[in-house]
Amino acid sequence: MIFVATSDGWLDVGERRVRCALGPAGVVPAAQKREGDGASPAGVWPIREVIYRPDRGPPPACELRVRAMTEDDGWCDDPADPEYNRHVKLPYPASAERLWREDGVYDIVVVLGHNDDPPVPGRGSAIFLHICKPGYPPTEGCVAVKREDLEDLLDSARPGDAVEIRAI
């Protein structure tokens, strides 16, 4: 199944459409995506794995690969580093985003296969499907939905499924 997120702020989850947030710079072709540009990359991105924060709830019920987050989990966003767009342990010598956040948006993180096979330096990192902030403010390029909607999506997701980000 392909879950489709569109630039007008909607995500198809099976038979339902739910609100979603994308990057403030809109949706751009993946070849034009750049680190830190605030854009969401257009394309079909395979679901690689689910990471959840165990102190904020049980593992999501799904058939995908799921692992518990730890306080030292990070994601390298430094295009000059060999681990660019990869999971790292903090502290890390290069720039890396902390996954263990207090605002709850990364309590469940679905890692999408954007720019990861292999990563091209500067073409964007840490493109996730995650929980949105109240009111659906823009992300930094990810797709974000309410926790309940993310849990529903994961309940129906199967290995091989993907998220498509589409400009309309």
Phi, psi of 106 (to 5 degrees): -105, 20
Q: CA-CA distance, 168 to 166, in Å (whole number)?
A: 6
With vertex at residue 41, the alpha carbon angle to CA 153 and CA 134, rounded to the nearest 5 degrees, is 50
This prediction has a pTM of 0.97
Q: What is the dihedral of CA 134, 11, 18, 20, to 10 degrees?
A: 10
Residue 50 domain boundaries = 2-166
Phi, psi of 153 (to 5 degrees): -60, -45
CB 3 within 8 A of CB 15: no
* Tally of structural domains, the chain: 1
Q: What is the CATH number of the domain that holds 59?
A: 2.40.440
Tens digits of residue pLDDT in 87-108: 999 999 999 999 999 999 999 9
Tens digits of residue pLDDT in 37-92: 999 999 999 999 999 999 999 999 999 999 999 999 999 999 999 999 999 999 99
